[in-house]
Amino acid sequence: MGYLFISPWLIGFFVWTLIPIGASLVLSFTDYNILAGAPNWVGFQNFQKMFLGDPRYWRAVKATFYFTFASVPLKLAFALAVAMVLNRARAFVGVYRAMYYAPSIVGGSIAVAVMWREIFGSNGLFNALLALVGLPGRAWLGDPATAIWTLILLAVWQFGSPMLIFLAGLKHIPPEFYEAASIDGAGFWAKFLRITLPLLTPVIFFNLVMQLIYGFMTFTQAYVITGGKPLDTTLFYNLYVFNRAFHVFELGYGAAMSWVLLAVIAVVTGLMFRFSRYWVFYEAAE
């Protein structure tokens, strides 16, 4: 009877998740092109082409790693700073928390991406504000040196989710620890480095893993705002997979790239868990 009740979920899981995953794995070893008819088995040819014969693939890898390892630390640092401010008792603090969380709800949407593109356009709001203070504007989205940083800034702006998780972690730190430190003469930074950070390491670790995975999977912002331009500096991995699979219709090659991304995320996550024992403090383990 239990299986009958969960049968809608089971059907959806098999039809929309498990079977497509299996089909993707099989397609990654074929030359399937949706315009060329039936797929042919090519073994590891897609992977060989990816690693040895596709310069744009490595530019996509470089852009994705650059974006991920620049945006995630900045986002987590900003989220922690805001969470510490909002952890203090003050009037309307619930309203402030909702206001700061709102960008995370809409931050990954098409509408926000379009808004971001208009803000940083040559005639956009950002250049207008610079002109008001006498500073020269520039084509932020057309300059290879600045285009990716507009996307990093958008990612940092979506700090609401990690901020809420940090806030929950801060509320679990006993206030007696801070009171005892104050009696001993500890200042803000001493409390932060010796109490807050060590006791928040499980929360930091969780946020770090989740945000790194989100970073590797970023697609919408680059697709809408820059389209991977200029000079492929914002050609994120998922955007390149999309282009090869649905613009060039090389579905076999796109499937192979997706499985490589899955493997990279699994390896990075596994390494983070492996080395977490050296810096993550779990109270229950003491």
pLDDT of amino acid 137: 87
Express as a percent the part of the chain with pLDDT over 70: 97
Q: Indicate yes or no: pTM above 0.85.
A: yes
Least confident of 30-44, 101-115, 219-233: 101-115
**SS3 of residue 227 by DSSP:** coil
Q: What is the mean pLDDT of residues 20-24?
A: 94
Express as a percent the part of the chain with pLDDT over 90: 72
8 A C-beta contact, residue 107 and residue 158: yes
- Going by pLDDT thresholds of 50, 70 and 90, the confidence category of residue 67 is very high
Is the per-residue pLDDT at 227 higher than 60? yes
pLDDT of amino acid 284: 60
- Going by pLDDT thresholds of 50, 70 and 90, the confidence category of residue 71 is very high
Quick one: which of 93, 156, 167, 153 has its CA closest to 119? 153
Range of the domain at 148: 54-277
Instruction: Note whether residue 32 is domain-resident.
Output: no
Residue 30, beta-bridge partner list: 41
E strands in the chain: none
Total residues belonging to the chain: 286
Report pLDDT digits (tens) over 253-264: 999 999 999 999
Instruction: Note whether residue 26 is domain-resident.
Output: no
- Token pair 């700090």 in the structure block, residue: 159
pLDDT of amino acid 270: 96
Q: What is the mean pLDDT of residues 59-71?
A: 96
**DSSP line for 130-144:** HHHTT-----TTT-T
8 A C-beta contact, residue 70 and residue 152: yes
Instruction: Note whether residue 38 is domain-resident.
Output: no
Instruction: Note whether residue 255 is domain-resident.
Output: yes
Is the per-residue pLDDT at 18 higher than 90? yes
E strand or H helix at 23, and its extent?
A: helix 19-27
Instruction: Note whether residue 1 is domain-resident.
Output: no
Q: Angle at Cα 273 formed by Cα 83 and Cα 86, nearest 5°?
A: 5
8 A C-beta contact, residue 51 and residue 286: no
pLDDT of amino acid 286: 53
Instruction: Note whether residue 11 is domain-resident.
Output: no
**SS3 of residue 200 by DSSP:** helix
Instruction: Note whether residue 39 is domain-resident.
Output: no
CA 57 vs CA 29, 60, 102, 250, 257: distances in Å: 18, 5, 35, 14, 9
8 A C-beta contact, residue 112 and residue 155: no
Instruction: Note whether residue 20 is domain-resident.
Output: no
Give how many domains the chain has, as a whole number. 1
Is the per-residue pLDDT at 268 higher than 60? yes
8 A C-beta contact, residue 237 and residue 258: no
Alpha-carbon distance of 90 to 51, in angstroms, equals 55
Report pLDDT digits (tens) over 117-176: 999 988 899 999 999 999 988 899 999 999 999 999 989 988 888 998 999 999 999 999
60 burial class (0-12, 13-18, 19+ CB within 10 angstroms)? buried
Beta carbons within 8 Å of 101's beta carbon, 6+ residues apart: 160, 161, 163, 164
8 A C-beta contact, residue 55 and residue 283: no
- CATH number of the domain that residue 243 is part of: 1.10.3720.10
Q: Angle at Cα 107 formed by Cα 262 and Cα 127, nearest 5°?
A: 115
Measured on CA atoms in the order 194, 196, 198, 199, is the torsion positive or negative?
Answer: positive
